Amino acid sequence: MVGLSSGTQRFCNKKCLTNAYVLSAAQKVPPDVIDRQVEEIFRGNCPKCRGLGPIDVHKVHQVWSALVLTRWTTTPQVSCRSCATKSQLGGVLFSSVLGWWGFPWGLILTPVQITRNIAGMCKGPDSSKPSDNLRKLVLVNIGMQALQKSQQNAPPPLAK
């Protein structure tokens, strides 16, 4: 049987198991702590340009192709709307130049990724409140920090 076990749960690989530990640690953090951190990031300065927020998670979509090979990505970016628009415009330009060169997926996915970037530039997350994506990102970061602290405070393994 492929995968990893932890108690009665099975996971596809080590990354999935680690993600489960992170989410488990995050669920132990009081909701008001998470809400406060989400609000601090949302109302803070942009990590890219240091300009004023609101700050949120924006997605940049790209596609790259070469003959029969096509690679497409969606990268989340925590930034202000202006920085996100610049990155999404870069995604449109990147995909416009390098996306078409694969058959058949390059021809299919290039217009999809370009359209997704344009939609993100036109719409984007609601600037009046933090998005669920920002909340999830903060939750995962808090979970990772809690997990790292618990590992640092754990007693050293016994020598054999």
- pLDDT, tens digit, for every residue of 62-110? 999 999 999 999 999 999 999 999 999 999 999 999 999 999 999 999 9
pLDDT at 160 over 60: no
pTM above 0.85, yes or no: no
DSSP state letters, 56-121: EEEEEEEEEEEBTEEEEEEEEEEE-HHHHHHHHHHHHHHHHHHSTTBTTHHHHHHHHHHHHHHHHH
What is the percentage of the chain residues whose pLDDT exceeds 90?
Answer: 65
Hey, is 18 helix, strand or coil?
helix
Residue-averaged pLDDT of the chain: 90
